[in-house]
């Protein structure tokens, strides 16, 4: 399948591994790029030297194009982006900040730049200062999706922008990829889906949960990391959201932020004073981030379902197996192409050839069961969760009864 994104990046398939902290590691990036997609390294948990080593490791594993992500709000992210530019990484993806300086430096060596955005204003601004593409994140996505869902966000932006769009949020199979392209996107970033593959470093406990959980089993709140963020609805997640940044969580942020000072190679006391002087808003955001980093790491690396919190999109309900990266990409593209050919046949008035296995799979999916860790906690307060995703108590009780 050829799109403006496959042409722009020189890749075979319009499938992207987005930069997911603790998941999009060098091996995972290389697996996706070798399978014909574009793997993007997450630098959130890395310092500058680790970023350089990771880029070199990717190059030792694959000769295919790849990318590096920098979430500019994270401490140390600008330094990591500078390393990616020095290493002349083919694609740089930035989020949560203004990356005009990245565009200038990347274009000087022929690199491409993708801005991650959630609305038209930021997308237009990124296009105006020279970004080659935008990754637009719908409300159903893992982590920091915007207010609008993919189904409305993509066509709205596609009709206003000239640069290609990568959609992030809700794409987990060939139906999603074909749908994304029909809506006006040129590729799909599949975070939640690629996170549950054989090569993914995600702990097996959470891979298992991702197969069990349904599309309703996530919550969206600003009380997890201080930004609107979607996570898997577990007792640890509900507890984190219920507490927000209360006194206990503020105190916990003190030791938790030591990780950040280590990452920045800054004496802890210097970081502490610097943050206090930067104002309450920054200090609060960093405290949220320090606690969130700790609990995401406990989920991804340790598989701790009682303390760990995992950012997950609603697409978790579309996951029924743990394939290899190559198997997943191959079947996603094959199914999308079959659907597209089938739609053409329908337009021509010929018989539909939609593969029935896809329909059967959705109908005969394994029963989703709640884990014991999820059964003890109460649902978050109404104000913590957007009305649309307020977990249905009725549905939750039913699931527990079933298990």
Ligand X SMILES: Cc1cc2nc3c(=O)[nH]c(=O)nc-3n(C[C@H](O)[C@H](O)[C@H](O)COP(=O)(O)O)c2cc1C
Say which residues have a Cβ less than 8 Å from residue 335's Cβ, sequence separation at least 6: 173, 174, 175, 177, 178, 355, 358
CB of 269 to ligand X, least distance (A): 27
Residue placing its CB nearer to ligand X in the complex, 140 or 384: 140
Distance (Å, whole) CA 195 – CA 207: 8
Residue placing its CB nearer to ligand X in the complex, 220 or 251: 220
CB of 21 to ligand X, least distance (A): 4
CB of 402 to ligand X, least distance (A): 25
Residue placing its CB nearer to ligand X in the complex, 19 or 228: 19
Q: From residue 23, how far is each of 35, 166, 301, 303, 343 by CA, in Å?
A: 17, 19, 9, 13, 35
Residue placing its CB nearer to ligand X in the complex, 70 or 370: 70
CB of 353 to ligand X, least distance (A): 28
Residue placing its CB nearer to ligand X in the complex, 180 or 253: 180
* Contact between residue 68 and residue 53 where contact means Cβ atoms under 8 Å apart: no
Count Cβ atoms below 10 Å from residue 247 Cβ, excluding itself.
Answer: 8
CB of 134 to ligand X, least distance (A): 12
Comparing CA positions, the residue from 198, 195, 398 lying closest to residue 311 is 195
CB of 237 to ligand X, least distance (A): 13
CB of 278 to ligand X, least distance (A): 22
Residues in contact with ligand X by the rule CB under 6 A: 18-21, 23, 42, 44, 69, 71, 95, 116, 137, 140-143, 168-171, 189-192, 195, 311-313, 315
Residue placing its CB nearer to ligand X in the complex, 173 or 374: 173
Residue placing its CB nearer to ligand X in the complex, 95 or 295: 95
């Amino acid at each position: 399948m050829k799109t403006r994104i496959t042409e722009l990046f020189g890749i075979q398939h319009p499938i992207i591994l987005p930069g997911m902290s603790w998941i999009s590691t060098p091996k995972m990036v290389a697996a996706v790029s070798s399978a014909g997609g574009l793997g993007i390294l997450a630098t959130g948990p890395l310092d500058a030297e680790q970023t350089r080593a990771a880029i070199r490791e990717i190059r030792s594993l694959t000769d295919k194009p790849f990318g590096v992500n920098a979430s500019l709000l994270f401490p140390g992210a600008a330094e990591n982006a500078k390393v990616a530019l020095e290493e002349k990484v083919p694609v740089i993806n930035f989020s949560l900040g203004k990356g005009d300086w990245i565009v200038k430096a990347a274009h000087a060596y022929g690199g491409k730049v993708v801005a991650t955005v959630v609305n038209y204003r930021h997308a237009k601004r990124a296009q105006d200062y020279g970004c080659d593409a935008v990754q637009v994140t719908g409300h159903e996505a893992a982590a920091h999706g915007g207010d609008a869902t993919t189904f409305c966000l993509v066509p709205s932006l596609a009709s206003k922008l000239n640069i290609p769009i990568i959609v992030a949020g809700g794409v987990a199979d060939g139906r999603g990829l074909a749908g994304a392209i029909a809506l006006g996107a040129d590729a799909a970033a599949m975070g939640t889906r690629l996170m549950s593959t054989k090569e993914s470093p995600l702990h097996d406990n959470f891979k298992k949960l991702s197969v069990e959980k349904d599309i309703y089993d996530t919550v969206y709140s600003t009380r997890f990391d201080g930004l609107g963020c979607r996570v898997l609805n577990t007792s640890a997640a509900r507890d984190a959201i219920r507490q927000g940044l209360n006194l206990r969580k503020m105190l916990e942020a003190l030791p938790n932020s030591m990780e950040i000072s280590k990452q920045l190679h800054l004496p802890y006391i210097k970081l502490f004073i610097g943050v206090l002087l930067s104002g309450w808003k920054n200090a609060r955001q960093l405290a949220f981030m320090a606690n969130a980093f700790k609990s995401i790491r406990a989920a991804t690396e340790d598989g701790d379902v009682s303390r760990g919190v995992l950012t997950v999109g609603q697409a978790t309900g579309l996951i029924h197996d743990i394939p290899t990266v190559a198997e997943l990409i191959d079947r996603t593209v094959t199914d999308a192409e079959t659907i597209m050919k089938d739609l053409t046949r329908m337009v021509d008035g010929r018989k539909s050839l939609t593969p029935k296995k896809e329909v059967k799979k959705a109908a005969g999916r394994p029963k989703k069961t709640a884990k014991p860790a999820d059964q003890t906690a109460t649902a978050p307060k109404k104000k913590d969760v957007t009305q649309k995703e307020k977990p249905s108590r009725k549905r939750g009780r039913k699931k527990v009864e079933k298990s």
